[in-house]
Amino acid sequence: MNIEDSSDFLFYYERLHHPDEPVRQAACLELTVIGQPFSDALLLEALADSSPRIRQIAADGLIELAGEDTIEGLAEMLRLEDAAARNQAMEVLARLGVRSLPAMESRLSDPDGDVRIFAANVLGNVGDAAAFESLQASLGDPNENVRYAAAEALGKIGDRWRR
């Protein structure tokens, strides 16, 4: 069954696009509690809501529900032009900690320099020494801004990589 044909999906989709913020808030909270297969897709979309409160509730829900597909969806949001949604996705990825490392390390070789910068920023905010070698390799990136972001991230990791 295609989830877009599901009456539950349509019910929550409509509520997430409702003009009243309390309705959108309730929908985000309910999606987190019910954890349906489509919950993460709808919560990812809610990260682009105009309301910072809705974006935060969606972020909290995604952290609670985060699986591999959710993390990959968040990583793809690094390509968004919408800075608020992109930044919210980066915050969620950082809060997921080491679970986001594989997705972020793979983005360090993305053709888009901005995606590489954002990935380095997330890895620095995670602050786990496991990202040291990937970030160190990014110091040789042809893009000066990627090199700077990698150096800054390595500074956040500090001496932890030796432990």
Residue 111 contacts residue 140 (beta carbons within 8 Å): no
Residue 143 contacts residue 116 (beta carbons within 8 Å): yes
End-to-end Cα separation, the chain, in angstroms: 49
pLDDT value, residue 37: 84
Whole-model pTM: value is: 0.88
pLDDT value, residue 22: 98
pLDDT value, residue 6: 75
pLDDT value, residue 35: 87
What's the rounded Cα separation, in Å, for the pair 88 and 84? 6
Residue 88 contacts residue 120 (beta carbons within 8 Å): no
How confident is the chain (163 residues) per 10-residue block, as mean pLDDT? Answer: 65 96 98 90 95 96 92 96 95 97 98 98 95 96 98 87 54
Name the phi and psi angles at 143, rounded to 5. Answer: -90, 120
pLDDT value, residue 97: 96
What's the rounded Cα separation, in Å, for the pair 17 and 14? 5
